[in-house]
Amino acid sequence: MNNKHLTFDDRLAIQAGLQQGLKVAQIAKNIGKDRSTVGREIKAHRKLVVTSKGNSCVHHNTCTKVPECRQACYRGKRQCQTACGGCNAGCPEYQEEFCTEYEKSPFVCNACGNRLRCRLRRMLYDAKHAQEQYEKMRSESRRGISLTEEELARINDTISPLIKQGQSIPAICGQYLDELPVTDRTIYSYIDAGILDARNIDLRRKLHRPERKKSGPVLRVDKKCHMGRTYEDYQAYMAQNPDSMVSQMDSVVIHKGGQTILTILFTSCDLQLMFLRDRNTAASVTKIFKKLREQLGGTRFQSLFQVILTDRGSEFTDPTRIEADTETGEIQCRVFYCEPLNSNQKSNCERNHEFIRYVIPKGQAKGRYIEEEIREMMNHINSYPRKKWNGQAPIDLFKKIYGEETATLLGLEKIPSVSITLTPALFNR
């Protein structure tokens, strides 16, 4: 009997056992699988469910702001009678309370008697959802590569310097056979895709080979980060928190495998922040959010970044470090992902990238850019009046919503209309 792979019937049996309150060991015995196999299955494919039932703040029993909220509810309810779940988004002292029960076996809340009345986020195991996730991961594993940021960095740090010193890939892989998790053929694919610092021009014999037209490898880092953060989860969260401010996040590649711009667009006004990065990695994204927290402070950061919608690029696979203050562990925003190949779900951000391409045409970028140039381009784009907003510029709307001080902290500066330049000539002035 194969103890590694589970069928849909196995998953239905797991769900039924969990709802009956059976232990993982008993469920495993019932379906003839190993206990560790069932445990990993539950933790890998459980899904996070958000509820709107009441206030989920850790201070909900001792809060002193309830009378004040009832008198001037931020949701506009003049005669608010209770501390509703909507207070979560409006209160600066809100701190989410988490249930600790699903941190131990069986790792889900299926059998919890208080589940239907619970006001906290909870974990549930659903056989259909688990089967869909399994089939999707199996499909992706056959056409992509799966590396962590650390593994990719180790490969790059080992391979690239030696290639630039004139060594061949087969020789390097032979020397580091026990340390590299990939083959020499895979290394060639990474270089073709621009994932490593080394380039084809650094490979002596490669220059004499005709280039074949093919798609590069799909860099697939840990997909478990999407659990509880899918587009369906985003829609459910927004239905329960309709007043949450939404930002759309993406990357604009300047040089393949090199300089990239992180963009964050506020849908409330279409203002788009832009941050230059040397490499398109998850670490470079979390570094920017750490800097934003330091610049803005916790309260201002939370008012700006409440919900962030992004795609499933490998640079966005560390959502925890985006959502939480790395020093205090406090969750300050929520990150959600679009469905695969559905960039139209963050269409505002995608459309605004057209302005960037006016200034930095694809395939026509100059050798290297500096932060001051990207900031200047950002200000010219955000100062450009939009018909959508009745001729107002995004930067003017942003200042009205968030204030002059916040705009200054983010390096935003209004450019006079007569001086706005949206061509490559902007960097030649």
Q: Which residues of 246-269 are buried (b: 16+ CB within 10 A; e: fewer)?
A: bbbbbbbebbebbbbbbbbbbbeb
Closest CA to 242 of 175, 180, 307: 307
Distance CA(42)–CA(36), nearest Å, equals 10
Distance CA(219)–CA(53), nearest Å, equals 39
Output the pLDDT for position 77: 46
Please give the C-alpha separations between residue 145 and each of 84, 152, 172, 197, in angstroms, as whole numbers. Answer: 45, 11, 21, 18
Closest CA to 221 of 105, 376, 337: 337
Output the pLDDT for position 2: 46
Q: In this structure, are residues 374 and 393 in contact, taking their beta carbons and an 8 Å threshold?
A: no
Output the pLDDT for position 78: 47
Domain ranges of the chain: 8-56+97-139, 148-220, 242-428
Which residue numbers in the chain have pLDDT < 50?
1-3, 74-79, 207-209, 211, 214-216, 218-221
Per DSSP, the residues of 70-137 read: HHS-TTS-TT--S--TTHHHH-TT--B----GGGSTT-S-TT-TTGGG--S-EEE--HHHHHHHHHHH
Q: Estimate the crossing angle of helix 35-45 against helix 127-143, to 10 degrees.
A: 90
Reported pTM = 0.55
Closest CA to 307 of 394, 378, 399, 235: 235
Q: What rounded mean pLDDT belongs to the chain?
A: 82
Query: Would you tell me which CATH number, out of the four given (3.10.20.30, 3.30.420.10, 2.10.109.10, 3.40.718.10), belongs to the domain 242-428?
Result: 3.30.420.10
* Burial class of 4 by CB neighbour count within 10 A (0 to 12, 13 to 18, 19+): exposed
Any bridge partners for residue 272, and if so which?
A: 265
Q: Hey, what amino acid is at 77?
A: K
Output the pLDDT for position 203: 79
Closest CA to 124 of 37, 192, 23, 47: 47
